[in-house]
Chains A and B, each alone.
Chain A
Amino acid sequence: GIQVEQSPPDLILQEGANSTLRCNFSDSVNNLQWFHQNPWGQLINLFYIPSGTKQNGRLSATTVATERYSLLYISSSQTTDSGVYFCAVDSNYQLIWGAGTKLIIKP
């Protein structure tokens, strides 16, 4: 089945820093989503981005479907950005998830 790998697994930054999170997938996909899981466990939709680039405030994402990767950019990090960031790809009607990148933003 399709494999999803995220890097780095952990990232610790000071408030105000920028970061890039990567998601690689092993086969072509119909859909790719980025989620933020906050410290209380809630999953928040960030982007639905099967291809191209999208931006939402300090966050942006780019998916290059032909090269099977997606990038999530976080600029001017805030402590509320802390949590785990997941990418998930659609394969045969189900989402296949990466293991996530755990982001800690220090004040």
Chain B
Amino acid sequence: DADVTQTPRNRITKTGKRIMLECSQTKGHDRMYWYRQDPGLGLRLIYYSFDVKDINKGEISDGYSVSRQAQAKFSLSLESAIPNQTALYFCATHSGLSYNEQFFGPGTRLTVL
């Protein structure tokens, strides 16, 4: 299993503010992902990265940007936060045995007022 950490765990911000969510994994796996979860729904993919120089948009990338600073670090930014970006955000990477099995961090609960 991959150990995935996310900071901060909770954040309240105001409309228009720039905010960054950070993610780190201990195993140095190639692929990392950012997902968003809205209440009562499953997760949706925002961005994914197969390597430091390989970053791809997911289903709901509008309003978000990412940075893969190193193999182990993948950050998600909201350039100008809006209230409908209030959600639970998860970072993920894959297992050491398979690219297809994903493991998730503890999540960041973001509230935009």
List residues of A whose CB falls within 8 A of some B CB: 4, 30-31, 33, 35, 41-43, 45, 48, 50, 86, 88, 90, 93-95, 97-100
Question: What 16 additional pairs, Cβ within 8 angstroms, besides A31-B101, A41-B88?
Answer: A30-B100, A35-B104, A41-B107, A43-B107, A45-B1, A86-B43, A88-B102, A93-B48, A94-B48, A95-B43, A95-B45, A95-B102, A99-B40, A99-B42, A100-B40, A100-B42
* A19 vs chain B, min Cβ distance (A): 19
Q: Is B27 an interface residue, CB under 8 A from the partner?
A: no
CB within 8 Å of A: which residues of B? Answer: 1, 33, 35, 40-45, 48, 50, 56, 58-59, 88, 90, 95, 98, 100-104, 106-107, 109
Give complex CA distance A33, B43 in Å.
13
Tally of A-B Cβ pairs under 8 angstroms? 55
Closest to B45 in A: A94
Q: Known: A48-B98, A94-B58, A94-B59. Is A43-B42 also a contact (CB below 8 A)?
A: no
B88 touches A99 (CB 8 A): no
* Across the A-B interface, the 5 shortest Cβ-Cβ residue pairs: A97-B42, A31-B100, A48-B101, A43-B104, A94-B45
Complex CA gap A2/B56 in Å reads: 19
Hey, which chain B residues are within 8 Å of A90, CB to CB? 100
28 A-B pairs within 8 Å (CB atoms) are namely A30-B100, A31-B100, A33-B101, A35-B104, A41-B106, A41-B107, A42-B106, A43-B90, A43-B107, A45-B101, A45-B103, A48-B95, A48-B98, A48-B101, A50-B100, A86-B42, A86-B43, A88-B43, A90-B100, A93-B48, A94-B33, A94-B58, A94-B59, A95-B102, A97-B42, A97-B44, A99-B40, A99-B41
